[in-house]
Structure 1
């Protein structure tokens, strides 16, 4: 079995409504999903049920993305997709060593979940052009979504843990 899995986080209608380059991120993620399916790489879908209860209008995946029969869905209530979910068990069942991550929001669920995966010993590839977020304000400073995405990519590209590899690559260059 392939030791790699693709995790798609929170690409839901309610999450992407105000996100930067949402259409581009969805298009690049859809292409990754197609490649993963062609290469028989497992795909795990993660959806936020705290802010968007199941079956609410904002809960569903955005147009252009569809979870196939048999692809696991992790329902989460926290920014970390590992927190109080079955994600650990799913990954163990797939005998995964490498995780590829795409989705939303860069500064919350993406950063938290990739860091949590690193702490658990996984090699992680963040798809640098397939995650997104919204503009934000912090302590009186306005941050653009582009700045947050760039910072997340920079932060993750410098991540170091013993005997693990981390990368930030464009969707077109992801190796499953």
Structure 2
């Protein structure tokens, strides 16, 4: 059994804008704490970046880049995606399979789109999942505040049923990673 931390779409166009997503600074600080814990335990950190052609999120554009306050290291694995599902037409599953990953800890942006879609897809693929309840965020929408959207997903995704893997929702302070023993 092996774990990976998956950080979804923490990018300049989505975080370094006005208005900022809910708890922008706190969310990035929690993600940085998660990734530091994962690296200390020898757990892979996978950074997902969304892209669109002819758009401010185009590959290599300033908006596509990671915010300056997100800590990323050379050892982190980067995955480019073009749809809300981080597995769709990407090499994410292959990267996880190569590392024997069975458990995913998920955080990032946007709670109701890419985090939700990736989490549900991972559940259907049989992964054991942890959603970090205070380390995913979004922007306010006409129908609901970003805080309410986060709360809704924390209280909905925990009840996904009928899948092979386990599902948990917990705050960053309670997330621990088991030390990986060298082979």
Provide TM-score, normalisation by structure 1: 0.93
Q: How does 1:89-168 map to 2 (within 5 A)?
A: 89-137=94-142, 142-168=143-169
Matched-pair contact (CA < 8 Å) for 2:10–2:108? yes
Q: Residue 160 of structure 1 aligns to a residue in which SS?
A: coil
Aligned to 1:64: 69
Aligned match of 1:20 = 22
Matching residue within 34, 37, 41 for 1:35: 37
Q: Secondary structure at the match of 2:86?
A: coil
Quick check: 1:118–1:161 contact (8 Å CA) kept in 2? no
Superposed CA RMSD: 1.2
1:80 to 59, 63, 85: 85
The unaligned stretches of length 5 or more in structure 2 are 178-183
The CA deviation string for residues 61-97 of structure 1, in whole angstroms up to 9 with x for no partner, is: 1122232113211100000000110001001011011
- Alpha-carbon offset, residue 111 of structure 1: 0.2
Task: Determine if contact 1:133/1:149 at 8 Å carries over to the other structure.
Answer: yes
Give the distance between the partners of 1:136 and 1:6, measured in 2 at CA. 27
2:180 equivalent in structure 1: none
Structure 1 unpaired stretches of 5+: none
Count of aligned pairs: 171
- Shifted more, 57-66 versus 88-97: the winner is 57-66
CA-CA distance at 1:163 after TM superposition: 3.9
